[in-house]
Amino acid sequence: MKTIGLIGGMSWESSIEYYRVINETTKEKLGGLHSAKCIMYSVDFAEIEVLQREGKWQEAAKILSLAARSVEAGGADFLVLCTNTMHKLVEDIQASIQIPILHIADATARKIGSSGIRRVGLLGTRFTMEEDFYKGRLTTKFNLEVIVPKAESRKAVDRIIYEELCLGLIKKESKNEYVRIIQELVESGAQGIILGCTEIGLLIKDQDCPVPLFDTARIHAVSAVEYAIGSCS
């Protein structure tokens, strides 16, 4: 079994889910008393959020690269970045280490591809929904068609992530708002919905959506286990 390296804390609410899913999946696949070999470096998200908001991405890259080197030095065989948004910096982080990074968008796209779906709606932070580092990878590498909510809906999705979900606040009215936005995406032709922020799965479940949901945190965590035990290349 390979040792999984994790960079978490963005937010710790979703990092808990990574740890839980990774170990549940390991037990499911290997049985008995098996649990995952893993090392986690958890950053202070307050520091990262300020750098995101101020556009100081290179400073954020330095923090995450230091975390990645620490995880590598601790014996990890590969790295899992427990956040969608900070994959904006994946090339900088990869350049700082020798072990591979298991990209969250790649794992998600393969899961979508196996379902036969080609047109997906994307929810996430404003960076993930509006910039090309994530959507562009899905489109150019995996030939998916990606649609995002309208501008006002994007603001609502982003606000709920930072002001509620990252603080562990689960509100019925926010779930209703997400369900409304998902319905808009479905009416625009989305055949499935990517929960492209690792916290959204805390709020939205399969039963809340009329089309398949792709929870990136769960998909990423399961893919890490498959890679670790050798059933995924």
Task: Tell whether the model's pLDDT for residue 232 goes beyond 70.
Answer: no
Set 26, 83, 128, 216: catalytic member: 83
* pLDDT category of residue 231 using cuts at 50, 70 and 90: low
| All structural domains of the chain with their residue ranges | 4-104+219-229, 105-216
Average pLDDT over residues 162-177: 96
**Cα–Cα distance list, 63 to 42, 43, 164 (Å):** 11, 8, 24
pLDDT per residue over 211-222, tens digit each? 999 999 999 999
Q: What is the pLDDT of residue 205?
A: 95
Start-to-end CA span in the chain (Å) = 14
Do 4-104+219-229 and 105-216 share a fold? yes
Residue 29: phi and psi, rounded to 5, are -85, -35
Does 83 participate in catalysis according to the annotation?
A: yes
Yes or no: say if 96 and 7 are a contact pair by the CB < 8 Å rule.
Answer: no
CA dist 20 and 140 (Å) reads 32
CA dist 190 and 120 (Å) reads 5
Q: Indicate the fold that domain 105-216 takes in CATH.
A: Rossmann fold (3.40.50)
In this structure, whether the domain defined by 4-104+219-229 belongs to CATH 3.40.50.1860 is answered with yes
CA dist 69 and 132 (Å) reads 27
- What string of DSSP letters covers 61-84? HHHHHHHHHHHHHTT-SEEEES-S
pLDDT per residue over 106-126, tens digit each? 999 999 999 999 999 999 999
| Average pLDDT score over the chain | 96
Task: Tell whether the model's pLDDT for residue 54 goes beyond 70.
Answer: yes
Looking at the whole model, is its pTM more than 0.85? yes
Average pLDDT over residues 19-43: 96
Set 166, 197, 198, 216: catalytic member: 197
Average pLDDT over residues 178-185: 97
CA-wise closest residue to 128 among 199, 58, 64, 189: 199
CA dist 166 and 202 (Å) reads 10
